[in-house]
Amino acid sequence: MEVLLQQIINGLVLGSMYALVALGYTMVYGIIGLINFAHGDVLMVGALTSWTIIGIMRDASPGMPGWMVLIMATIIAMVVCAALNYTIEKLAYRPLRSAARLAPLITAIGMSLLLQTFAMIIWKPNPKSYPNLLSTDPVAIGGAVISVTQITILATTVITLAFLMWLVNRTNLGRAMRATAENPRVAALMGIKPDTVISATFIIGAMLAAIAGVMWASNYGSVQHAMGFMPGLKAFVAAVMGGIGNLAGAVVGGVALGLIESLGAGYLGKLTGGVLGSQYTDIFAFIVLAIVLTLRPSGLLGERVADRA
Amino acid sequence: MMNNQTGKLVVFFIAAVALLALPLVLQATGSNSWVRILDIALLYVLLALGLNIVVGYAGLLDLGYIAFFAVGAYLFALLGSPHLSDTFPAIKAAFPDGIHYNIWLVMLVAAAVAGVVGMILGAPTLKLRGDYLAIITLGFGEIIRIFLLNMDRPVNITNGPKGISQIDTITVFGVDLGKRLEIDLFGFSYTFQPVTLYYYLFLFFVVLAIVLSYRLQDSRIGRAWMAIREDEIAAKAMGLNTRNLKLLAFGMGATFGGISGVLFASFQRFVSPESFSLMESVMVVAMVVLGGIGHIPGVVLGALLLAGLPELLRHVAHPLTAMTDGRLAPEILRQLLIALAMVVVMLIRPKGLWPAPEHGKSLNK
């Protein structure tokens, strides 16, 4: 029972990080129909930037409380990632918006690789340990243990999601985004500038990814240039699972995938009598994707799968 | 017209002689490393030609292509090394001298297995948008790698991260390519190094693949693939069975991958999951993209460039690496090259360095 509770907590934490990244995928896909492969690497840049900022701030003012350092580092990482993603969209994706469907996809993969390479050049390829800036005393809940970092992750995710929902559903920008996703041409006729909306979408997605990156680094205590690719892919799977283009779906898919992975890792060994162990965790996401695409390609909450060739 | 024909023949003849003599010249420098680089480059050409069928002809982005390469390589590794009989007493009893199947038989089996795996994989996703296919194939590539990495327990099949070694070399017409070959011709003796012998074998397969690719391209199937690539709905309306054709492209590409895998395993005499990372899949895509999607000379050029340039860089990069405190190591430069090849080519020259003349060439004739 304790194991179950523990795995559920771990799954929720993992899932909330997937959800934040999945939102970035799903918003971009909803508007321009592109799988932004580089999105996971934006998470990586966020994590590594915050790592650098934390190092600098700790040297500059050692007395500053940990949570303040973390907040400052997160904000700077968000700004850096927003600028980066804005630039990527402008330089690499915008010129290809009307090109054949293969071209933007290949560019996106190349961009992902390029970001990883630049990160290797700037930060060197070795893994770096990420400091734990919050209290290290774990909190016990009914036999399971949850760290302060994990509680913070869950709380931050809830706040971020609430803010995003407000942004998308209540503001002019959000309305413009939804309109562009629905039909870019008609939206443009209504006086919306699609380019501005798309840029805004990339910026918001990058900020969410930066937050997720800091969370990921804090939770696992290590940062490296390749850290973003797998979470990025899995978040994409989460977005597809929830119904790509659907914001609530991305959150549901993210949390569901987190739970599947965490419970799977905890119980796979027992279920298969030791034949398969937790080292197969990375496979779940792809199996889930194959199943979803076969049985319900529109996802759990999805309305449509656009067949734009 | 006749002149043109003769001219072509002369060019062809010179190219053939140059290709045959190249390893002998390089071998004369006394080191095998350059011929080795050539061998690897030829393997990449083979892979790129296979992927070109999938990406170039049918327009399906396969990001897990290296998995088929892995399937071929591991199949040959298991059948051509003492690993299985060392691990399982039952196999040891059945094959006291190890399994050591005939290489050509294994190659056929590997081609078939890789092809079937490719089709099984493609089946659920091919009716969906191309993007999903990219992700699913990527996932499949990772799944294969994870299995290879972890199938050393509870039953040791793949020997996990340690990989399988002592793989058989290939024997062609009684000549063991793993051993030096001394030729005594009119009192003039010459020694062929194993890398040179493999070069000729790989060259044979590359030429075969090129001929096959051209034949496919001009065939009814090839034209159907290109129709699907250009406009799937229109192709369907013309009565093409797009699903089966796409499956066929997938299976055919995978077959090429499987055969290259067999060649690779016997050339290296060692396989481990490391050789089949996602990076390799992306690199093969980059080769096709850089050279010119769907254009055979372009694809060959792209593969040679991306396989060869990093090796050249390795020689030039050492001072650069030292100067930048290890930040610009050859491996990193190689990755930078691949990434730039993909992004810059797509933005500036979307059809590649050496693109196909134009589609619809029948109209111009």
DSSP, res A131? P
Contacts of A281 (CB under 8 A, 6+ apart): A261, A264, A265, A268
Angle, vertex CA A149, rays to CA A145 and CA A153, nearest 5: 105
Helix (H) or strand (E) holding A88: helix A66-88
CB proximity B161 to A under 8 Å: no
Which of B289, B346, B348, B349 best tests the A interface by mutation, with the highest count of A CBs <10 A?
Answer: B346
Task: Considering only residues A201 and B125, tell me which one the structure prediction assigns the higher pLDDT.
Answer: A201
Residue A109 is nearest to which of B132, B282, B332, comparing CB atoms?
Answer: B282
User: What percentage of chain B exceeds 70 in pLDDT?
Assistant: 93
Question: Chains A and B: how many Cβ contacts under 8 Å?
Answer: 130
Q: In this structure, is residue A73 part of a structural domain?
A: yes
Q: In this structure, is residue A251 part of a structural domain?
A: no
Q: In this structure, is residue A72 part of a structural domain?
A: yes
pLDDT at B365: 37
Task: Considering only residues B261 and B86, tell me which one the structure prediction assigns the higher pLDDT.
Answer: B261
Q: Write the burial class of residue B308 (CB in 10 Å: 0-12 exposed, 13-18 middle, 19+ buried).
A: middle
Assigned token pair, A188: 């443009």
Q: In this structure, is residue A149 part of a structural domain?
A: yes
**pLDDT tens digit string along B273-291?**
988 988 889 899 999 988 8
Residue B131 is nearest to which of A35, A91, A283, comparing CB atoms?
Answer: A35
What does the mean pLDDT of chain B come to? 84
Contact B142 A240 (CB under 8 A): no
State the Cα–Cα distance between residues A257 and B18, nearest whole angstrom: 56
Per the structure, the count of domains in chain A is 1
For residue A166, give the amino acid letter. Answer: W
Q: In this structure, is residue A213 part of a structural domain?
A: yes
For range B308-321, the mean pLDDT? 77
For range B162-180, the mean pLDDT? 80
SS3 of residue A257 by DSSP: helix
State the Cα–Cα distance between residues B56 and B62, nearest whole angstrom: 11
Residue B154 is nearest to which of A101, A117, A274, comparing CB atoms?
Answer: A274
CB proximity A282 to B under 8 Å: yes
CB B115 within 8 A of CB B255: yes
CB proximity A272 to B under 8 Å: no
Residue in the block written with tokens 């350092």: A69
pLDDT at B358: 66
CB proximity B220 to A under 8 Å: no
pLDDT at A50: 96
Min Cα separation B308/chain A (Å): 19
The residue length of chain A stands at 309
Task: Please give the residue of chain A at the shortest CA–CA distance from B338.
Answer: A110
Q: Is the pLDDT of residue B363 over 90?
A: no
Q: In this structure, is residue A287 part of a structural domain?
A: no
My answer on whether omega of the bond before B273 falls inside 30° of 0, hence cis, is no
**pLDDT tens digit string along B185-196?**
676 677 778 888
SS3 of residue A238 by DSSP: helix
Contact A240 B326 (CB under 8 A): no
Helix (H) or strand (E) holding A270: helix A247-271
For residue A32, give the amino acid letter. Answer: I
State the Cα–Cα distance between residues B64 and B136, nearest whole angstrom: 8
- In chain A the first and final C-alpha atoms are separated, in Å, by 49
**pLDDT tens digit string along B67-121?**
999 999 999 998 888 887 777 777 777 776 666 677 788 889 989 999 998 888 8
φ, ψ (nearest 5 deg) of residue B64: -125, 30
Q: Give Cα B293 distance to the centre of its chain.
A: 16
Task: Considering only residues A303 and B227, tell me which one the structure prediction assigns the higher pLDDT.
Answer: B227
For range B155-167, the mean pLDDT? 85
For residue B238, give the amino acid letter. Answer: M
CB atoms within 10 A of CB B31: 11
State the Cα–Cα distance between residues B318 and B156, nearest whole angstrom: 40
Q: Which of A282, A305, A307, A281 lies closest to A292 in space, CA to CA?
A: A305
DSSP, res A99? S
Assigned token pair, A182: 């629905």
State the Cα–Cα distance between residues A294 and A288, nearest whole angstrom: 10
Q: Is the pLDDT of residue B176 over 70?
A: yes
State the Cα–Cα distance between residues B356 and B298, nearest whole angstrom: 8
Min Cα separation A155/chain B (Å): 31
Q: In this structure, is residue A70 part of a structural domain?
A: yes
Q: In this structure, is residue A290 part of a structural domain?
A: no
CB A156 within 8 A of CB A238: no
DSSP, res A100? -
SS3 of residue A129 by DSSP: strand
Task: Give ipTM to 2 decimals.
Answer: 0.84
State the Cα–Cα distance between residues B170 and A34, nearest whole angstrom: 45
Q: Write the burial class of residue A301 (CB in 10 Å: 0-12 exposed, 13-18 middle, 19+ buried).
A: middle
Domain that holds residue A104: 19-236
Residue A113 is nearest to which of B125, B139, B282, comparing CB atoms?
Answer: B282
Contact B286 A274 (CB under 8 A): no
State the Cα–Cα distance between residues B305 and B353, nearest whole angstrom: 11
DSSP, res A130? P
Residue B343 is nearest to which of A100, A114, A297, comparing CB atoms?
Answer: A114
State the Cα–Cα distance between residues B182 and B120, nearest whole angstrom: 46
Mark which residues 320-349 of B lie under 8 Å from A by CB. Answer: 324, 326-328, 332, 335-336, 338-343, 346-347
Q: Which of B307, B29, B254 lies closest to B144 in space, CA to CA?
A: B254
For residue A233, give the amino acid letter. Answer: L
Assigned token pair, A121: 């050049």
State the Cα–Cα distance between residues B262 and B277, nearest whole angstrom: 17
Task: Please give the residue of chain A at the shortest CA–CA distance from B155.
Answer: A275
- SS3 readout for chain B: CHHHHHHHHHHHHHHHHHHHHHHHHHHCCCCCHHHHHHHHHHHHHHHHHHHHHHHHHCCCCCCCCHHHHHHHHHHHHHHCCCHHHHHCHHHHHHCCCCCCCCHHHHHHHHHHHHHHHHHHHHCCCCCCCHHHHHHHHHHHHHHHHHHHHHCCCCCCCCCHHHCEECCCCCEECCEECCCCEEEEECCEEEEECHHHHHHHHHHHHHHHHHHHHHHHHHCHHHHHHHHHHHCHHHHHHCCCCHHHHHHHHHHHHHHHHHHHHHHHHHHHCEECHHHHCHHHHHHHHHHHHHHCCCCHHHHHHHHHHHHHHHHHHHHHHHHHHHHCCCCCCHHHHHHHHHHHHHHHHHHHCCCCCCCCCCCCHHHHC
pTM: 0.88
Residue B150 is nearest to which of A95, A106, A279, comparing CB atoms?
Answer: A279
Per-residue pLDDT of chain A (309 residues; tens, 9 = 90+): 678 888 899 999 999 999 999 999 999 988 888 889 999 999 999 999 999 999 999 998 888 888 999 999 999 999 999 999 999 999 999 998 887 778 888 899 999 999 999 999 999 889 999 998 887 788 888 778 899 999 999 999 999 999 999 999 999 999 999 999 888 889 999 999 999 999 999 999 999 999 999 999 999 999 999 999 899 989 999 998 888 888 889 999 999 999 999 998 888 777 777 677 777 888 888 888 888 887 887 778 766 544 433
CB proximity A87 to B under 8 Å: no
